[in-house]
Each structure stands twice: as structure tokens, then as C-alpha cells.
Chains A and B, each alone.
Chain A
Amino acid sequence: MRTKRLSIGLGKTLAVAALLFWSLFPIAFIVMSSLKPGQEIFAVPPAYLFTPTFENYASLWNRWGSFFDGLLNSTIVTAGATALAVSASTCAGYVYSRNAGRFLNASVVFLIVVRLIPPIVVTLPLFPIINAMGLNDTHIVLIVLYATFFVSLGAILMRTFIDQIPRELDEAAQIDGAKPLTILLRVIVPLAAPGILAVAVFVVVFSWNEFLFAFIFTATKAKTTPLVISEMIGSIDGVDWGILFAASTVQLAPVLLFVVLMNRYLVAGLTAGATKG
């Protein structure tokens, strides 16, 4: 009995170790390599003990100014897309939670069906249209695209979260003569904060990391960080892996920290999104 329990414990420990290695080793390895001096990156066997240096970050700063423009663009696009998606989703989610009817049910089904359309499909007609409108290579295009591909999930998630807020609260406000928008802002939004954060996590992670739309719709002025990094990989023959690792670390660190801090909302959002949408 005791040996059996011991072997189960050992098996579990090994499984957890394998799991940690699988999830964290790739991340840890590039962060670690970004701190290695150039010649040690390709050392055989790989060096795990070395004197950390910031020389790769210094070269990134000196040689890839466009990377830092990319960070700024990514920040603007992420903030814009998140604000747009969260506010549009909250308004719609409120209506779906508090009202019923054939028309509204049909529009929820519509939101679910729309999610079946792959993003790459819309690039075909949007490419010439956006060019004709002179909006190519602007922040606004990416903001609208990123927000749109999350408002359907966002609205359904917000409905689920707002469903948990007692109706008596908004009915009381209604009797006091408050307008729907006032009720939404004063009563619902403060109580629906976990839902808003869950939607925000999805949009922030997606907008900060997205590649396809940025690749097709931006060229120089609105280029986001993933696109700049892809150009670093593209010049692979002459690529400086040290700089690439430094750039990857800088791109990854804020969003990883964000996911770690918001893990509760991410889990809540993933669960609600998958079962309700």
C-alpha cells in the first residue's frame, strides 16, 4: 500500500516536471539566450551558466529603430482595439442579458455563425477597398479589424457575466427614471468588471500578437511588433539570433505578465466562451 502510494506520488511528480518543461522551457530558453554574449548562443553543448549581458538589447536599440516604432504602434492598436471591442460588447451583452425575443435570439445565432468565417477570407475584398480609401498602413484599420473579430465572442461573454447580476438592481434604477445607458454605466459596468476584464484579456493578447492582418494591411507607418520580428527572421541568413531573442523577449514580457496577472479572468472567459458561444 505504501509503495503504491509512493509510486503514484513519484509518477505525478514526473508528470508535473514534464509538463513544466514543455510549457516553460521554450520561453525560458529564449529569455536566457537573449542575455548571452553573441558567441555563447551557438555554444555546443548549450551554456546554462554564463555572465548575463545586455549587449543584445543594446544592439537591438542601435540597429533596429523600427522595432521600437513597432512597439509604439502595437500599443496604440492594442489600446484602441480593446477599448472598441469592450465597449461595443458590453452594450450588446447588456441587451442580450435583459431582453428576449425572436429578433434578439436570431441576432445571437448570427453572432455565433459569423465566428465560422476565417479572417483570411475578408482580406481579399478589404485589401483593394482599404487601399482605395487611403487607409492602408494606418492604425485605425487594425483597430477596427481586431475589435470586429472579437465583438461576437465579447457580446456573448458579456451576456453570460451580466446574467449573474440581479435584475432587481437595474429595475430599481429604471423605476427611479434612469435611462438604459445610465443604468449600463452606473449599475452594470461596475458589477460586470470581471466580464469586462475577461473580454479585455482576449482582445489584448490577440491584438498584441496578431500577424496576418498586420502583414497584409501595414507596410511601414503602422507596422506592429510581430511584423518587425518576422522581418528579422526573414533576413535569416544574416540574422543576428541575439538581437532576435532580445526583441522576442521585449515583445513577450508585457503580454506574458498580463496573462499571469489576469489568469483568473482568462480561465473564466475561456470556460464561458466555449460553453455558451
Chain B
Amino acid sequence: MRTKSLAQSLPLIAPVHMLILSVIVIPSAFVVWLSVTKSTFGQDPSFVGLENYIRVLSDPAFRRALWNTIVIVVCAVHIELAVGLLVALLFASGLWFRRFLLVAVLAPYAVSEVIAVVMWRFLFDPDAGPITLALKALGLPILDWSFEPTHAMVLIALLTIWLHLPFTFIILYAARLAIPSDLYEAARIDGATPFQAFRRVTFPLLGPAVMVALLFRYIFAFRIFSEVWLLTGGGPARSTEVVAVYLYQEAFSYNAFGSAAATAWIMVAASLVLASGYVFLLRKQVTGNAH
């Protein structure tokens, strides 16, 4: 019976696995091989060991790209989490037209990175952008993003937060709604202030959802490509490159497939480290609760 059901289920799970094996797993394994060889178009590859990894890790352009990526991930994701949490609590506190507001908050989810770049580029246009004009009118500093790398990074972070807030918000809001309201009633009867209720009830129970949202956003923010590529192209003078843009440049502008492949595996390794850190924390939490 068991073998029969396995034989019957194999054809049904085969398409998913064939797609993943042929498009993701085998090519990624091939990238490992590329990363330890030296090759360009039309040349036979030769084995060079870890040379590509050493070259990438000691390349100042890569270090700059890695630093930029980490800054974007750390700043954008945490601000996004804080804002997402506030919005989730605002929704949970009871709002009029909640469905309409929910859809409004979700709207940026539908916007492609390309269109988001068009929007934000124009909003912050140094001459005519409505936000620039508003900042000027208020006497505040403006974002000179096409010349100042730091300003460009701020704009990229804003854009990232705008695009992904819907995701973070939904995860946190769903988790907040899953907290039984009896707990708040009990806290109220015990004389807890709203702040105490937040600290003792909401915050601990939202913990797992916060972890999930953070993990997903760390992993996905680390891959950031289109926003940077379309806004600054990594310039001026490679100062706003992120790891994925560095990878693209190495492979498709400089034909250095070996170092591009090494960069690719550094990216995969970073994702794995983040994910295993998450699993470790979850385990600790589970055993912590058991004690």
C-alpha cells in the first residue's frame, strides 16, 4: 500500500521538483564549479582553487558593495519593521473603513521596482520634484541623490521600505489578530495600563512573527538589484553598488565569470547563515518555553 501510494504520488510532485532541479539546483551547483575556475567567453576554463574568492573578498569595489548592502538591509529592514509594527497596532486598535485602509496600505505591493523608481526619482527630482520643493519650502535639506552617494542610499532605502512595507505589515497584523482578546481583558482587569498590556502581552506573543518577518526581509533585501540598478546604476564611480549589482557587473560587463560565481556563492552563504541563525533562535525559544 505504501509503495503503491508513493508510486502514485511521484508523478504529482515530479513537475515541481523537475523545474527546481533544472532551473535552480543544477545551475547553482554549476556555479560552484565556475567559482573555482577561471573563464571568460570563448575560453576553456582552468581550475584556480579559491583564487576567485580571495580576489573578490579583497576587491575594494566588492567591499564597498557589501558594506552598502549591509547598510541598506540593516537600516531599511529595521525601520520597515518598526513602522509595520506601529501600523499593525494602529489597525488592531480599531479603525473606521478598515478594509479600505488595508487595501490602501497593500497598494505598493502591486508596484514594480521599475515604476517605483520612476515615482521616487520624480518625487525627489532636484529641480521639480514635489517632495524636493516641499522640503525646500520648509527650509529642510534636500536629497541630492544623483551626486551624493549617501543621499542616493537614503533614497534607495526609502524606496525599498515603500515597496515592502505591505509584506511586513500583513505578517505582523495577522499575528496581532491571532492573539486572543481574553488576554487583554484579563490584563485590563488586573489593572494593566495599555503600555503594560503591550509589553507583557502583545510584544512576547508577536515575537515569532517579528522573527519571521525579519528573516524574510533580511534574505530578500540582501538580493536587492533592480532598485539600485535603475536609480543609480551603481554610480557615481561604483559608490552605490550593492552585491547583486557587483555580481552583474563582473559577469555581464567585465566577463569575469569566475569572480561573479564566487560573489554568487558568497550571497548564497549569507542567506544560509541568516536562515540557520533563525532556526537556532527558534529552537532556543522552543526549549526556553519548555523549561
Contact = CB atoms under 8 A, between A and B. Distances in A.
A229 B28 CA distance: 30
B64 interface: no
A212 B19 CA distance: 19
B24 A114 contact: yes
A187 interface: no
Q: Is the interface of B mostly helix, strand, loop or mixed?
A: helix
A221 interface: no
Contacts of B219: 116
A108 B113 CA distance: 30
A26 interface: yes
Contacts of A96: 13
Given A16-B95, A270-B174, 20 more contacts: A19-B90, A19-B105, A23-B105, A23-B108, A27-B111, A88-B16, A95-B12, A117-B28, A121-B268, A126-B27, A155-B13, A184-B12, A211-B112, A248-B118, A256-B107, A259-B109, A263-B106, A266-B106, A267-B106, A274-B171
Contacts of B267: 118, 120-121
A8 to B, nearest CB: 9
A23 B9 contact: no
A180 B12 contact: yes
Contacts of A241: 122
B128 A42 contact: yes
A202 to B, nearest CB: 10
B45 to A, nearest CB: 11
Interface in A49-85: none
B251 interface: yes
A216 B252 CA distance: 9
A122 interface: yes
6 contacts: A26-B119, A29-B122, A46-B128, A129-B27, A252-B115, A274-B171
A92 interface: yes
Interface in B251-291: 251-252, 257, 260-261, 264-265, 267-268, 271-272, 275
A124 B24 contact: no
A230 B122 contact: no
A252 B167 CA distance: 19
Given A26-B120, A124-B34, A148 B24 contact: yes
Interface string B23-46: 111011011001000000100000
Given A19-B90, A258-B110, A274-B171, A144 B133 contact: no
B248 interface: yes
A94 interface: yes
A208 to B, nearest CB: 7
Contacts of A88: 15-16, 19
A233 B121 contact: yes
Interface in B1-26: 2, 5-6, 8-9, 12-13, 15-17, 19-20, 23-25
B122 to A, nearest CB: 7
Interface in A18-42: 19-20, 22-24, 26-27, 29-30, 33, 41-42
Interface of A: 12, 15-16, 19-20, 22-24, 26-27, 29-30, 33, 41-46, 87-89, 91-92, 94-96, 99, 101, 103-104, 107, 110-111, 114, 116-129, 144-145, 147-149, 151-152, 154-155, 180-181, 184, 205, 208-212, 216, 226, 229-230, 233, 241, 244-245, 248, 251-252, 255-256, 258-260, 263, 266-267, 270-271, 274-275
Given A19-B90, A229-B118, A120 B244 contact: yes
B196 interface: no
Nearest to A267: B170
Contacts of A99: 5-6, 9
Contacts of B226: 211-212
B18 to A, nearest CB: 9
Max chain A Cβ within 10 angstroms of own Cβ: one of B15, B90, B223, B257: B15
Contacts of B275: 116
Given A29-B130, A122-B24, A125-B30, A91 B15 contact: yes
Contacts of A110: 17, 20
A91 B105 contact: no
Contacts of B34: 124-125
Interface in B141-165: 162, 165
B13 A92 contact: yes
B118 A274 contact: no
